[in-house]
Structure 1
Amino acid sequence: MSSGRRIDHTPDGHFVVIDGRRWRATDPMLPEDIASRLRKHLMAARRAVRSALSDEDEAAVRAARGRVQRAKVALGERGTPWWEQSAAQRRRRWEDGLAALDD
């Protein structure tokens, strides 16, 4: 199923370009099973943000947004750019992220 969106990568692979807007790419070193788990956490956190906003629960919004941030950092999409990290730093980033999100 196609979303109709045009998705490209920059030549260096650091960013994806979706409908002309540039976003940092997920760390390509992430094993697919880890990336999948992190994406599930990210989607659950985004749903929690939406629910908390509709409930007008500011504490829940902050907590859910914190989980979104943690998942995005673990995926390499926020924080220190993955291309500026060693392999050990990259592994530690996603392992720490999963440990926090799995709690």
Structure 2
Amino acid sequence: MADVPKHGGHMSRYPVTPDGRYFIVGGRLWRMSDPRLTAAARKALVSELMAARRAVNTARRKADRSAEDAAHANVDRAKRALGERGPAWWNDGAPDLNRRMAHTTPYARWYAGLADA
């Protein structure tokens, strides 16, 4: 799929819902980062997230379950700070549809239209 714009002015190879709340991979909705984060804060949190993910891989290679658990906790902490997990960052009462299949959500019609584009 060609690059498509996503909120925050970045480009993504994954489609982003019209409201900017989710991007779609394999037909599944994944929550976007909170757009209220400053560019600097987002960059720092993404750096923390990537370091935590590398730590998960390192711990797995070493078969160090304790280190892996700690690294997973750091991944979760960074994703929550980014707004990708935990309470939804929007406050209009719309449900959080994170990890749901797009075709089973209110985005179904929009998602089906992507195939026609």
Could you tell me how far apart the structure 2 residues matched to 1:6 and 1:50 are?
25
TM-score normalised to the size of structure 2? 0.65
- 3-state SS in 2 of match to 1:22: strand
Instruction: Report 1:1-103 matches (<5 A).
Output: 6-84=13-91
Summarize deviations over 1:41-91 as a string: whole Å, max 9, x none.
000000000000110101000100000000000000000011139xxxxxx
- 3-state SS in 2 of match to 1:84: coil
**Percent sequence identity over aligned pairs:** 46
Q: CA RMSD in A?
A: 2.1
Q: Quick check: which one's helix share is greater?
A: 1
Which amino acid in the other structure matches residue 59 of structure 1? S
Residues paired across the two proteins, number: 83
How much does 1:19 deviate? Answer: 4.3
TM-score normalised to the size of structure 1? 0.73
How much does 1:21 deviate? Answer: 2.7
Larger-Rg structure? 2
Which consecutive segments of 4 or more residues in structure 1 shift more than 3 A? none
Extract unaligned runs of 5+ from structure 2.
Answer: 4-11, 93-117
